[in-house]
Copies of this chain bind each other. A is one copy, B any other.
Amino acid sequence: MSSRRRQKAERPAQLLEAAFALFLERGFAATRIDDIAERAQVSKGTVYLYYPSKEALLTAAVEELLLPRLANLRQILEPTEQPAWPRLRQVFEAMWTLAVDPQGLAVAGLPKLMISECGNFPDLARRFVERWIAPMQDEVLLGLVQQGLASGEFQVDDPAYQVRVIVAGFVFQLVWRHSLAEFDGRGLDMRRYFNAWLAQTHAVLVGTALPADELAAEAMSLTGTQP
């Protein structure tokens, strides 16, 4: 395939990636089309050959670039019959992988973007919550927790809201990393955070401390600048 054609085929993804990164960093209103063009190494006019408006870039970035990746995760979670905790543990690992995957930067940044922009793009926000957040909590995680309750493996009041708190601990780390983390001189060791989150989940569901051999070992550290 000619280099001209290959470029054309890759343009939409390039543009969406540039747009997403800038929207995430500066917000939609504060991002100029010229900035997006520059980041994608094209001129402003080219942007409009592929997307009819600035808003279309945002919508497309969320719907086309990101949602398919999340669909991946959902698929991982589908099958099997096993004890609930190992199963849940496996779901957590998949979430974790998605969160730290360098390719998955976009997915990891999505909650921050939606939180920032939901006031100005309510339709997009609604789809995000209804199609991803709510099902992830209610169908996937709550489903597994209830399975564990039924088998007597877990013991907990108000599982629906426990799941919300658990998810909050995960999602907030994503949001933090894409917003205020860089201003925190203390740095952030993501693996330690993940282990702490896992320990809390285990403690509240199972009622005992997480066995030490279940802690993940590799350290993955982001160190902030010292003031």
Count the A residues whose beta carbon is within 8 Å of the partner chain — how many? 63
**Between-chain CB contacts (< 8 Å), 23 pairs:** A27-B116, A27-B119, A29-B29, A115-B179, A125-B183, A126-B227, A128-B180, A129-B183, A129-B184, A130-B183, A134-B185, A134-B186, A138-B186, A158-B192, A158-B196, A161-B195, A162-B196, A165-B197, A171-B172, A172-B175, A175-B175, A200-B201, A203-B207
Least Cβ–Cβ distance between A79 and chain B, in angstroms = 26
Instruction: Give the residue name and chain of the B residue nearest to A185 (CB).
Output: B130
* Contacting residues of chain A (73-105) with chain B, CB-CB under 8 angstroms: none
Asked if residues A200 and B203 are in contact (CB atoms below 8 Å), the reply is: yes
Contact of A184 among B133, B200, B201, B215 (CB under 8 A): B133
Q: How many copies does the complex hold?
A: 2
Interface positions, chain A 158-194, Cβ under 8 Å from B, are 158, 161-162, 164-166, 168-169, 171-173, 175-176, 179-180, 183-186, 189, 192-193
Residues of B contacting A25 with CB < 8 Å?
A: 119
Given contacts A114-B179, A118-B179, 7 further A-B contacts (CB under 8 A): A30-B120, A115-B179, A126-B227, A129-B184, A158-B196, A200-B200, A203-B207
